[in-house]
């Protein structure tokens, strides 16, 4: 990402309240990794595993912590959180999406829907009855907005996104291609002859400033709404089931899944491939590491993990065989403890 005019290093320091060390007159026109950055690039160092790249970098400036500044051969910007500061600076170099207001001739809009004059409706979009599209909304190509949906001001649906029905988006929501919000939750009741579908009568409510990744699905509630509070961030290919509630500022990495009626607190982090079973509560401030399966409610903040880390196959097979023997081993240990307790009592 590069910008033709660029920003002086001292300008970036003032703008983002950072301390500049070294020559502050250099002009930065883009961002790049430490190992590949040139004299017009800004790089950052947040992870110690890349510290060796710092000594060899040709970046114009590096964002890092104060204790790493002396190791840099180029000017630096001192930050308490280099990754956060990098994220804010890098946004300056992200090309702005230019979506002109208006409705593409191929779009189809129901007569009783309302589309603000400042909204941009792309090619092939379909907007059904009772939809409200607020100011500054961008609908990319081939989005389908089902009945009784609302899209809050400044939201952007990139392309090929479906809001099935009764979906309400807050302001400045960003949804990436292929996401589906408001599809039926997985509600079925057992009958002697098979399954009976349970009607899904709720909706989906997405708070302000949320981001929803590509091909992620969020089901509408069975009776009440499925809810994401403000500033929730979902990665790609995530499944959020019906009646789930996710608290503000939580983030879920790719392929995570949350089953029906689970309640995730605020400021939670859920790693890739993790699963949360239905009807469980997860407290505020919980981190769940990748591939963890949550089978009980978590009442206290902290870091939680499950699953077996990778190891050499032969060792894994031996350990797996021992796991199958654990119950029998536990019973033998319990019997030995009881015999030892009896012998101890007899001697006394």
Q: Which two tokens stand for residue 54?
A: 């710092």
What DSSP state is assigned to residue 4? E
3-state secondary structure 144-173: EECCCCEECCCCEECCCCEECCCEEECCCC
Query: In this structure, what token pair is assigned to residue 343?
Result: 């012998």
The single residue of 41, 176, 242, 245 carrying the catalytic annotation is: 242
Tokens 């709404």, residue located: 225
The residues that bridge with 204 in the sheet, in sequence order, are: 167, 226
277 vs 281: CA distance, rounded Å: 10
Q: How far is CA 156 from the centre of its chain?
A: 17
Contact 132, 168 (CB under 8 A): no
In sequence order, what are the residues at sequence separation of 6 or more whose Cβ sits closer than 8 angstroms to the Cβ of residue 271? Answer: 253, 256, 287, 288, 289, 290, 291, 292
Respond yes or no: is residue 245 known to be catalytic: no
Active-site annotation, residues: 242
């Amino acid at each position: 990402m590069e910008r033709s005019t660029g920003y002086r290093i001292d300008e970036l320091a003032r703008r983002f309240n950072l301390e500049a060390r070294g020559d502050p007159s250099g002009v930065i026109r883009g961002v790049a990794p430490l190992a590949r950055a040139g004299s017009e690039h800004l790089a950052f160092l947040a992870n110690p595993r890349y510290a060796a790249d710092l000594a060899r970098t040709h970046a114009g400036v590096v964002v890092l912590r104060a204790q790493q500044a002396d190791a840099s051969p180029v000017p630096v910007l001192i930050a308490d959180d280099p990754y956060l500061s990098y994220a804010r600076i890098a946004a300056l170099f992200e090309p702005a999406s230019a979506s002109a207001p208006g409705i593409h001739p191929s779009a189809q809009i129901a007569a009783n829907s309302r589309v603000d004059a400042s909204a941009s409706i792309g090619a092939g979009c379909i907007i059904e009855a009772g939809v409200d599209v607020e100011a500054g909304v961008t609908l990319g190509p081939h989005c389908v907005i089902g009945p009784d949906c609302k899209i809050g001001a400044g939201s952007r649906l990139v392309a090929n996104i479906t809001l099935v029905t009764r979906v309400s988006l807050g302001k400045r929501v960003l949804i990436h291609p292929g996401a589906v919000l408001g599809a039926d939750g997985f509600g079925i009741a057992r009958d002697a002859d098979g399954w009976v579908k349970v009607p899904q009568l709720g909706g989906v409510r997405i708070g302000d400033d949320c981001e929803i990744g590509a091909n992620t699905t969020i089901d509408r509630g069975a009776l009440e709404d499925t809810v994401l509070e403000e500033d929730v961030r979902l990665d790609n290919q995530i499944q959020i089931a019906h009646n789930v509630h996710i608290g503000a500022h939580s983030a879920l990495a790719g392929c995570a899944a949350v089953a029906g009626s689970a309640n995730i607190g605020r400021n939670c982090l859920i790693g890739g491939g993790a699963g949360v079973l239905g009807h469980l509560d997860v407290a505020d401030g919980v981190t769940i590491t990748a591939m963890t399966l949550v089978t009980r409610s978590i009442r206290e903040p902290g870091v939680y993990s499950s699953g077996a880390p990778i190891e050499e196959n032969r060792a894994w097979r031996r350990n797996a065989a021992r796991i199958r023997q654990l119950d029998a081993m536990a019973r033998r240990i319990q019997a030995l403890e009881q015999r030892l307790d009896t012998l101890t009592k007899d001697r006394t």
